[in-house]
Amino acid sequence: MIEPQMRYINLENLENISRGDDKRLFKYLIQFRELIPERTAQLQNALQLADRVQIRQILHKMSPQLQFFGITNVVDPIQRLECEYQTMAIDELNTLVTKILVTLEKALIEVSQLIDYKQNNQNT
């Protein structure tokens, strides 16, 4: 199995905290795979309802994990949304949140591929 290339996530922080301990590395990867779909579903729901407060709260909550996984292209939109969630035009808010959701979907695929790759390597 070929090692998947990471375009959306950066594993530097993960490698630093796991220090070669695969068990610890898996813990963070699996937690990402569990938490992010739950939060993106909440985010989609809040977006449909145009619930600005809820959007801010979900983004605020998920932001540290996304930073830790080096998903840098969502950092700026999240910070903007956190500051301007009440005043931003709804169209722009929609565009930014959708951009974040698309990026997270791709990051999630990468994390899943990485989990599969690591598990496969462990078994062989």
* Nearest distance from C-beta of residue 102 to other proteins, angstroms: 21
3-state DSSP assignment of residue 40: helix
Q: Which of 40, 6, 16 is nearest to 118 (CA)?
A: 6
Give, as ranges, the residues between 84 and 123 that touch other proteins (CB under 8 A). Answer: none
* Nearest distance from C-beta of residue 88 to other proteins, angstroms: 16
Distance of alpha carbon 32 from alpha carbon 18, whole angstroms: 15
**20 contributes a contact to other proteins by CB under 8 A:** no
Give, as ranges, the residues between 30 and 89 that touch other proteins (CB under 8 A). Answer: 31-32, 35, 57, 60-61, 63-65, 67-68, 79, 82-83
Cα angle value 12/66/101 (rounded, 5°): 135
What is the C-alpha end-to-end distance of the chain, expressed in Å? 10
Nearer to other proteins, 39 or 118 (CB): 39
Question: Based on the number of CB atoms within 10 Å of its own CB, is 122 exposed (0-12), middle (13-18) or buried (19 or more)?
Answer: exposed
Which listed range, 4-12, 17-25, 94-102, 105-113, lies at the site for other proteins (CB under 8 A)?
A: 17-25
* Nearest distance from C-beta of residue 72 to other proteins, angstroms: 13
Element (H, E) at 17: helix 12-18
Residues that bind other proteins (CB under 8 A): 13, 17, 19, 24, 27-28, 31-32, 35, 57, 60-61, 63-65, 67-68, 79, 82-83
